Amino acid sequence: MNWGQAAQDRLSEIARHSADPDGVTRFPFTPEHGAALDVIRSWMSLAGMSSRMDASGTLIGRKEGPIGSKTFLIGSHQDSVRNGGRYDGIMGIALGCLAMQKLSDAGTELPFSVEILAFADEEGVRFPTALMGPRALAGTFDPSVLTMTDKDGQTLGDALTAFGGDPRKVSQLSRDPSDVLGYLEMHIEQGPVLEIEDAPLGIVTGICGIERNAVTFTGETGHAGTVPMQSRRDALVAASGFISEVFDAAQAVPDLRATVGTISLHPNVVNAVPGRAELTLEIRSLSDAARKSFAEVTRTMGQRISQDRNVGFSSVRTYEQPAVPCDKDLTKTLELAVTRSCSTAPRLPSGATHDASAMADLCPISMLFVRCRDGVSHKPEEFASDADMDAAIQAVASFLTNLDL
């Protein structure tokens, strides 16, 4: 059997369950979600696994190990962004099922139970929350999110009930950490590093911490014709100096990412000096210390630039999420498994958040990245090759076989 081609075929098949024909649009607790779970059940069955949906809407496939053995978890999410691709999320479930099927076909008996977790919602597009499934397992679920509503006014709790879940029982799903061996997630990289390194697979060192800052420069507006250059207190000019300097400084810090993604001017008209510029600065790093230190550097920059340009400056941290390191032992075992079939296994941080970040509150985590074409994700053009997915299936089968737990 060509496992990589099988993965490609399965992802093409399940991509049809989409609310929109342009790419994949599959939100949680929708008819598309239901149809996708039917397909995933068939994948689990082919891998010799039983399946059931838990109260939070997570479809769980289980291959029972010896009596009294513990359980290793493999997970990812079934949902997509609007007009997303065929790989983000769902690929991890497909590859997990195929790796288990490959072991089953070979008659390999593992000394532990394995569960494949098809989480309902990681993207957080339908409701202003996400990660309910893994949080429930980790015991970090906050029931207040059940009252959050989608754009049609339906609550998350009602949508879950209508889907066959049970909002009242989500808090009872938490697992006993002593029964869980660890967690593995496979995901497309969503970035260009593996392509640049010419590597099919990458070993994730951890999930970057994130902070967001609301940065404001306040000058003085005025007529673009009547205020001489020397009299201006142009907020955009100050903001521009800041944006350039932050970018250049971030390049000098290993594995740090700093992004000014939005800017808003007041009054924002062609013939007025901008009096206020508001921008967002997001900083990500696997090192929380490096991230915080860089944020301080940007504040110093902003103060200096605003003094030079005679404008006001403020920077307020509006959001913060600490980094989640991957487990050293699982990561080493994964790296060994990858190098059995690939000549190189680059280590890299995950700049994006994943289900694994919530699972880290339950057990040791590990992540395997699969190269994606041009680093593109969240678009219909998202693509991973048969060969790269085949390598991932081989590596995970080998990883499970060689787990020394």
H-state helical runs in 139-287: 156-162, 193-197, 235-251
Determine contact, residues 325/221, Cβ cutoff 8 Å.
no
Q: Does 258 bind a copy of itself (CB under 8 A)?
A: yes
Of 254, 256, 274, nearest to 264 by C-alpha is 274
Select the span of 51-59, 98-106, 160-168, 206-214 touching a copy of itself (CB under 8 A): 206-214
CA–CA gap between residue 244 and residue 129 (Å, rounded):
33
Among residues 24, 173, 199, 273, which is the contact residue for a copy of itself, using CB under 8 A?
A: 273
Question: Site for a copy of itself (CB under 8 A): how many residues?
Answer: 59
Of how many residues is the chain composed?
405
**What are residue 198's phi and psi, to 5 degrees?**
55, 45
Binder among 139, 325, 346, 375 for a copy of itself (CB under 8 A): 375
Nearer to a copy of itself, 166 or 220 (CB): 220
CB of 381 to a copy of itself, least distance (A): 13
Is residue 284 close enough to count as binding a copy of itself by CB under 8 A?
Answer: yes
Measure the CA–CA gap between 110 and 372, rounded to whole angstroms. Answer: 31
Select from 55, 160, 265, 311 the one that contacts a copy of itself (CB under 8 A).
Answer: 265
Q: For the CA atoms of the chain, what is the radius of gyration?
A: 24
Binding mask 228-257 for a copy of itself (x = CB under 8 A): xxxxx-x-xx-xxxxxx--x--xx---xxx
User: Which DSSP symbol is given to 174?
Assistant: P
Indicate which single residue of 225, 300, 343, 404 sits in contact with a copy of itself (rule: CB under 8 A).
Answer: 225
Distance CA 88, CA 80 (A): 7
378 binds a copy of itself (CB under 8 A): yes
Q: If you ran DSSP here, which 8-state letter would residue 22 be given?
A: S
Neighbours of 52 (CB within 10 A): 11
Q: What is the DSSP letter of 145?
A: G
Beta carbon of residue 222, minimum distance to a copy of itself (angstroms, whole number): 7
Asked if 59 and 6 count as a contact pair (C-beta separation under 8 A), the reply is: no
- Among the listed residues 178, 226, 300, 343, the single contact to a copy of itself using CB under 8 A: 226
- Of 19, 35, 110, 272, the residue at the interface with a copy of itself (CB under 8 A) is 272
DSSP 8-state secondary structure symbol assigned to residue 373? G
Which residue intervals of 309-377 are DSSP H helices?
Answer: 328-341, 355-359
Q: Is 210 in the site for a copy of itself (CB under 8 A)?
A: yes
Burial class (CB in 10 A: 0-12, 13-18, 19+), 99: buried
Interface residue with a copy of itself among 62, 175, 212, 304 (CB under 8 A) is 212
Binding of residue 274 to a copy of itself (CB under 8 A)? yes
Contacts with 324 (C-beta within 8 Å, 6 or more apart), sequence order: 206, 207, 209, 356, 357, 360, 365
> Per rule CB under 8 A, is residue 224 in the interface with a copy of itself?
yes
Measured from the CB of residue 36, what is the shortest distance to a copy of itself in angstroms?
24
**Pattern 162-201, a copy of itself, x by CB under 8 A:** ---------------------------xxxxx--x-----
Contact residues toward a copy of itself (CB under 8 A) are 189-193, 196, 208, 210, 212, 222-232, 234, 236-237, 239-244, 247, 250-251, 255-263, 265, 268-274, 280, 282, 284, 350-353, 375, 377-378
